[in-house]
Amino acid sequence: MKSEKSLRVCEKGHTYYKSSDCRSCPTCDKEEKPESGFLSKLAAPARRALTNEGINTLEKLSQYTEKEILNLHGIGKTTMPILRNSLEEAGLSFKE
């Protein structure tokens, strides 16, 4: 059973269709994507999950366990290898 998509308008005036309750605007997500850094390697839901938690640096990320990060809405198993690799490249790791 498919959910019906509804037309929405974001605060910036972009129009888009969505079937979920998620309010994120795809156009805004693209505009807000960083050009560099570990957040630039992530999909929009994962980026939002981390930034909503105040995690915008690898140092802050290293203060969390993998389990804590996986529990954030928007973080999936495909995100974890990217995060692990980014931490490793910076000489950091997840909290044990």
User: What's the CATH code, domain 34-89?
Assistant: 1.10.150
- Residues sharing a CB contact under 8 Å with residue 12, sequence separation 6 or more, in sequence order: 25, 27, 28
In the chain, domain spans: 34-89
Tokens of 89: 């490249």
Count CA atoms closer than 13 A to 62's CA, side-chain side: 13
pLDDT digits (tens, 9 = 90+) for 54-95: 999 999 999 999 999 999 999 998 999 999 999 999 999 999
At 65 the pLDDT is 98
pTM, to two decimals: 0.77
CB 15 within 8 A of CB 7: yes
Summary mean pLDDT of the chain:
92
Q: CA-to-CA distance for 23 and 16, rounded, in angstroms? A: 10
